[in-house]
Structure 1
């Protein structure tokens, strides 16, 4: 323990002595070199020359910048200003290039973020997952295409087809009109289904909505026209049948037919 205390005391005394004997180094040549390597100025070639009768007497100058100096020292002194921190210095150019690269990187990042955001928006417009949330669908096409959505895919009776009565439906069916209408209805339903379930650009989707709507209106006009024509035909047929009392099947003989005609005409002649 006594030896340890002695060692600590000796170490402390040595540190105090060394601190008192350290002097600040202030070499003018080194200071001049620092100034040359910064932004201050190019020059101040210390140590300075000294002449006596035209003879160089400063040995330090002769060995650093003078005739005994290395060739690279003399070329350095006679060379151009190579301060790295001068306005056009190498270090400043590197810092400027670094700043330009940083600005370009920010531009690229902004462009990449814009492309990413646009891709996300395009994906939301392409995918069929979000079709129900589209404002134009909610404001217009949802209401306008609701008849297509609610109309049965395979109507099986006159009520499903919105036809006047069963007899009109049977005549339309026998004449092939129902088959034609069913084919047109299948096309409309398929187009509507594809516009709602397929992934496509938003503009293409609304074009399909519009085409479906136009075709549905044509289908409704065709259905009404065929229904009205068939109803008119049935009405005309019934009028003719009542007027002339036509019968498809009769059990009367020729004599009975002549007798009935004579009874109808006897009061007219």
Structure 2
């Protein structure tokens, strides 16, 4: 066991030392032509086309230059060397233009997002103001119009007797039914009920909804006053009619009586009043 353990330690040390020596033997390449090319392709400067030419008696003698930039090089290399500055990161380079375009698009996207968010918020607010779903939660409805329009809501849609019409006596109701007063009130009631239902169920601006509430409330007050006026007028008419009938009967009976009977009747009628 000890021998195996010792062998493992020696093997580990051998591998570690060998890797350290091999790492130390790695050479760093520094090719000036590659460095110059990297500078051209990034942003630093355009030019420095290495390798450089060498001349002897006016004749170019650098074979490396001839194969890269000279007469032995492909035509595209010479076009590249003699062409325009195509650095992508120069002030007017393609990459700079793309970055500028991306920044412009980003700002435009932020503006569009802000506009969309504003439109969405406005649409939500408009929906809350327009829809009939939220009418029950409106503060002004809860504080005032709900209480004021409650009698109209609870009033029967199609009243059939004097109790439902809130008239004092049935004979008054029958008289109003005969002279057309009930028919007129039925039309007014139907219009008020229809306006009330529309104000509660249709989608419309909040301001218009409350204008309809107010118009309905004014119409309801006029309807109630009209109903009371009809009731009083018909009661007064029936009282006059009853009085005239009684007076006519009394006059007819008085004409058939003699003076003594009339005097006795008057004495009996007024004996306890004086």
- 1:3 and 1:114 map into 2 onto residues whose CA distance is 76
Alpha-carbon shift at residue 200 of structure 1 (Å): 0.8
Q: Which has the larger displacement, 42-51 or 163-172?
A: 163-172
Does residue 118 of structure 2 align to residue 121 of structure 1?
A: no
Does residue 205 of structure 2 align to residue 208 of structure 1?
A: no
Alpha-carbon shift at residue 10 of structure 1 (Å): 4.8
Does residue 90 of structure 2 align to residue 93 of structure 1?
A: no
**Residue equivalent to 1:219:** 223
- 2:113 and 2:102 map into 1 onto residues whose CA distance is 16
- 1:108 and 1:46 map into 2 onto residues whose CA distance is 50
Alpha-carbon shift at residue 104 of structure 1 (Å): 2.7
Shift in CA distance, 10/265, structure 1 to aligned 2, threshold 3 Å? closer
- TM-score, reference length from structure 1: 0.79
For the aligned residue pairs, the C-alpha RMSD in angstroms reads 3.2
Instruction: Give 5+ residue unaligned stretches, structure 2.
Output: 264-274
Structure 1 contact 122–201 (Cα < 8 Å) conserved: no
Alpha-carbon shift at residue 178 of structure 1 (Å): 1.8
Structure 1 contact 155–161 (Cα < 8 Å) conserved: yes
Matches within 5 A, 1:163-174: 163-174=167-178
Shift in CA distance, 153/261, structure 1 to aligned 2, threshold 3 Å? farther
Structure 2 contact 254–262 (Cα < 8 Å) conserved: no
Identify the match of residue 260 of structure 1 among 257, 261, 265.
257
CA shift digits 1:16-53 (9 cap, x unpaired): 23222222211111111111111211111122222222
- 1:199 and 1:167 map into 2 onto residues whose CA distance is 40
- TM-score, reference length from structure 2: 0.77
